Amino acid sequence: MNSRQRLMAALNHQEPDKVPFDLGGTVLTSLHVNTYRNLRKYLGLPEVEVQVMDIFQQIAVVDEDVRARLGSDVRVVSPRSSATFRIAINTTDLPGYDFFHDEWHIGWRKPKEGGFFYDMFDHPLSKASTIEEIKNFPWPDPVDPARFEGLRERAQHTAETLGEPVILGGLAAGFWELTCWTRGFGKVYPDLVNNLPWLEYLMDTIVDLKIAYWEKALPLVGEYADVVQEADDVAGQFGLLISPDIYRRVIKPRHKKIFDFIKARSQAKIFYHCCGAIRDIIPDLIEVGVDAINPVQVSAKGMESKGLKRDFGKDITFWGGLVDTQGVFTDGTPQQVKDEARRRIDDFAPGGGFVAAAVHNIQANVPPENVVAMWEALQEYGVYGAESAPGRRPESYWAGYPEAPVVVRAASQSPDAIAGRALTPEEAARLFEEQHGDLSPVLNELKDAIINGNPQVAIEKANKALAEGVSAATIINDVVIPSMEIVGSKFECGDYFLPEMMASAIGTQGVMKALRPKLVEGGGQPAATAAIGTVKGDLHDIGKNLVAMMWEGAGFNVIDLGPDVPAEKFVSAIREHNVQLVGLSALLTTTMPMMGKIITAIEEAGLRERVKIMIGGPGTTPEFASEIGADGYAPDASAAVRRAKELLAG
Ligand code: B1M
């Protein structure tokens, strides 16, 4: 069986000779360049100049010698850039960073010191508000002939000469991702709540560009296109970022349009990448024609391998999930990695429908011996028909094997709500009623505008209340803070997702901006001053922004230091602003150790006694918080408010 036959058998839910393996086959299943260099060395292969497969993620092209040695079965065939576009890296005009703009005019930057990746910092449509601006935007030409030069020949070579499957790359990223990247994450989620027609126009413009690309690429590559690659991240660690309802009303019809178009013109299977906890929408993905999901983030909520295979294994292929960089891959022993890989093979491989790959690109902190241990597990346990084949283990093996957890769909994704530590929305509403039930009409309207995520009305009503003589302190204490408590409880119980929560929080931010000067004039004080940032090396800021907004909504004066924040900046913020609460956010296992370093720096500056320190982010835990000497941990933005108040009170 060659690699092409092996992969196609797996995708058709048949057992090939062995589980197909993807190492470096796509931009979502490769290794960080540093890890790749280490792996080559570990395998005793000669030093080579490592080619970068994707400049943004700094992942490597896996060379033929490694592919042959480890038997990778997958190879992407991607379009080239348009004729007019070349990346021009600017090393001078943004202090501390190298940066460039891509052909969608999105700005990307990499920290000069210790930066692992290029990340977005400039979203070209972030200030746009009219349809005309979308129409007049200089969109890249999806059918520029330069993109397609040699595409068919490369596909033919891959399929016929190498006997490998052709994974046909798409135009840049998924339509939703491109919407987020051009508009900006901070704008796109609230737009889903209160600017939807405009946003839909933007989405449809991008969908049309993508379809124009597929219209040309598919007939050109023809019978060689085995798999096409699409990607749209819509989930985080504990659940979807958007509600299933918004997915179904807004995103799914556009996925369907693109996938139907592809399926009508080719036999290709659809590979769809989406990180995080996507269990709730897997049936929808199956319905719109997705054949394989990646990266199967088994550490995310509801994504346990055995349960996924049990519930969806007949209809979808799991492409990934072998070992997760959020777990033992990074800090476990090779034996632990092997055990983990073996368990995933056992779960996913029986009956086909499994393409073995790590959960997402293998990060810069994964030791090479662990990459090899993952591969060894596959050689030992991933051979169908063998004594040790998936599903043919001796009885002794199964003793002590974890049972597939039965997934009970809780209304809530939040650890605090599940544990009963959070107020339910009903309790929060009752409390509001008891404490502030006799609000004037304008304050009632302000409350509704905050809870329903209508920023403009919220600001208007706050100003009207001020004009009517209500004090800033009353507006904040009697309306803003308890309204945001209701919003937080809705988020924790799963009624609200990122868009609704951000829309409310943006309204609150605007209200607080208008009220703060009046509060100072009236001799009022903010509840506390907090400095928050995502730690150095980490540019994920959606969660941090949400925590900052919720803290602001709880009446704190918040100094948002941004993403990629070094220890010195936290230290100076504490000194300059008389900070009482420090918030550290990190989403990468490569940057979590930076949290400990920042705490040490605060100690060394003699400031530790002055502040409480809270941490959060999907890889962090209460145990990790105490290990590094933080005072507290919160799993989400609403819990972060509760914890902050507890810490400051204690
Ligand atoms: Co990235 N990414 N990403 N990413 N990304 C993760 C984190 C990852 C888990 C995905 C995966 O493996 N499947 C993975 C990390 C794995 C690991 O660490 N081992 C990962 C990776 C690897 C990467 C890159 C390296 C690219 C790559 O190779 N794939 C690259 C690195 C960039 C960098 O930082 N230098 C990268 C890039 C990106 C995008 C730019 C595409 C985008 C970020 C956009 C942005 O933030 N401006 C992105 C996204 C969106 C994600 C996922 C899909 C979602 C994260 C998110 O925004 N969630 C994520 C998957 C996942 O989480 N499982 C993933 C929504 C947000 C509201 O939740 O941030 O968790 P969250 O915040 C929550 C809580 O955690 C908590 O409250 C928040 C609100 O409820 N919280 C706190 C957060 N901070 C807190 C602080 C507190 C208290 C609570 O006190 C102070």
Ligand 1 neighbour 558 (Cβ under 6 A): no
Domains located in the chain, CATH noted: 3-50+64-76+134-390 (3.20.20.210), 410-525 (1.10.1240.10), 528-650 (3.40.50.280)
Ligand 1 neighbour 166 (Cβ under 6 A): no
Predicted local distance difference test score (pLDDT) of residue 410: 46
Instruction: Indicate which atom in ligand 1 lies nearest the CA of residue 589.
Output: 18
Ligand 1 neighbour 449 (Cβ under 6 A): no
Tell me if residue 532 falls in helix, strand or coil: strand
Among the residues of 296-365, which ranges form H helices? Answer: 305-312, 328-331, 334-348
Predicted local distance difference test score (pLDDT) of residue 56: 81
Predicted local distance difference test score (pLDDT) of residue 402: 59
Predicted local distance difference test score (pLDDT) of residue 435: 87
Q: What is the pLDDT of residues 172-203, one digit of tens each?
A: 899 999 999 999 999 999 999 999 999 999 99
pTM of the predicted model as reported, rounded to 2 decimal places: 0.92
Ligand 1 neighbour 541 (Cβ under 6 A): yes
pLDDT (average), residues 523-547: 89
Ligand 1 neighbour 199 (Cβ under 6 A): no
CA distance 297 to 275: 6
pLDDT (average), residues 244-253: 97
pLDDT (average), residues 464-476: 93
Ligand 1 neighbour 542 (Cβ under 6 A): yes
Q: How far is CA 286 from CA 107, 252, 270, 317, 360, in A?
A: 34, 11, 10, 10, 21
Q: Say if residue 409's pLDDT is above 50.
A: no
Predicted local distance difference test score (pLDDT) of residue 539: 85
Instruction: Indicate which atom in ligand 1 lies nearest the CA of residue 543.
Output: 72
CA of residue 379 to ligand 1 center, whole Å: 32
CA distance 450 to 505: 8
CA distance 290 to 494: 26
pLDDT (average), residues 31-44: 96
CA of residue 183 to ligand 1 center, whole Å: 18
CA of residue 587 to ligand 1 center, whole Å: 5
Q: In whole numbers, what is the pLDDT of the chain averaged over residues?
A: 92
pLDDT (average), residues 630-636: 94
Residue 552 backbone phi and psi in degrees, to 5:
-60, -40
CA of residue 619 to ligand 1 center, whole Å: 9
Please check whether residue 583 is in contact with residue 532, taking contact to mean a CB–CB distance below 8 angstroms: yes
Please check whether residue 337 is in contact with residue 377, taking contact to mean a CB–CB distance below 8 angstroms: yes
Q: Say if residue 215's pLDDT is above 50.
A: yes
Among the residues of 275-367, which ranges form H helices? Answer: 282-287, 305-312, 328-331, 334-348
Q: Say if residue 136's pLDDT is above 80.
A: yes
Predicted local distance difference test score (pLDDT) of residue 558: 95
Predicted local distance difference test score (pLDDT) of residue 412: 53
Ligand 1 neighbour 324 (Cβ under 6 A): no
Predicted local distance difference test score (pLDDT) of residue 612: 98
Predicted local distance difference test score (pLDDT) of residue 461: 97
Per DSSP, the residues of 496-525 read --HHHHHHHHHHHHHHHHHHHHHHHHTT--
CA of residue 617 to ligand 1 center, whole Å: 8
Q: Say if residue 411's pLDDT is above 70.
A: no
Q: What is the pLDDT of residues 300-339, one digit of tens each?
A: 988 999 899 999 999 999 999 999 988 889 989 999 999 9
Predicted local distance difference test score (pLDDT) of residue 418: 67
Tell me if residue 8 falls in helix, strand or coil: helix
CA of residue 266 to ligand 1 center, whole Å: 34
CA of residue 539 to ligand 1 center, whole Å: 8
CA of residue 236 to ligand 1 center, whole Å: 7
Split at pLDDT 50, 70, 90, the class of 395 is: low
Mutate to test the pocket of ligand 1, among 99, 272, 540 (most ligand atoms within 8 A of CB): 540
Split at pLDDT 50, 70, 90, the class of 420 is: confident
CA distance 140 to 137: 9
Q: Is 296 left (phi over 0), alpha (psi -120 to 50) or beta?
A: left
Name which residue leads in pLDDT, 86 or 40.
40
Predicted local distance difference test score (pLDDT) of residue 73: 97
User: Token pair of 80, please?
Assistant: 């080239």
CA of residue 540 to ligand 1 center, whole Å: 5
Split at pLDDT 50, 70, 90, the class of 112 is: confident
CA distance 599 to 562: 17
Q: What is the pLDDT of residues 225-235, one digit of tens each?
A: 999 999 999 99
Split at pLDDT 50, 70, 90, the class of 20 is: very high
**Residue bearing tokens 């036959």:** 5
Split at pLDDT 50, 70, 90, the class of 345 is: very high
Q: What is the pLDDT of residues 559-580, one digit of tens each?
A: 999 999 999 999 999 999 999 9
Ligand 1 neighbour 545 (Cβ under 6 A): no
Name which residue leads in pLDDT, 428 or 451.
451
Predicted local distance difference test score (pLDDT) of residue 493: 85
Residue nearest to atom 77 of ligand 1 (CA): 636
CA of residue 146 to ligand 1 center, whole Å: 34
How buried is 190 (Cβ within 10 angstroms: 0-12 exposed, 13-18 middle, 19+ buried)? buried
Q: What is the pLDDT of residues 259-298, one digit of tens each?
A: 999 999 999 999 999 999 999 999 999 999 999 999 999 9
pLDDT (average), residues 110-117: 80
User: Token pair of 559, please?
Assistant: 């100094």
Q: What is the pLDDT of residues 358-389, one digit of tens each?
A: 999 999 999 999 999 999 999 999 999 887 77
Instruction: Indicate which atom in ligand 1 lies nearest the CA of residue 235.
Output: 53
Amino acid at site 181: W
pLDDT (average), residues 10-33: 96
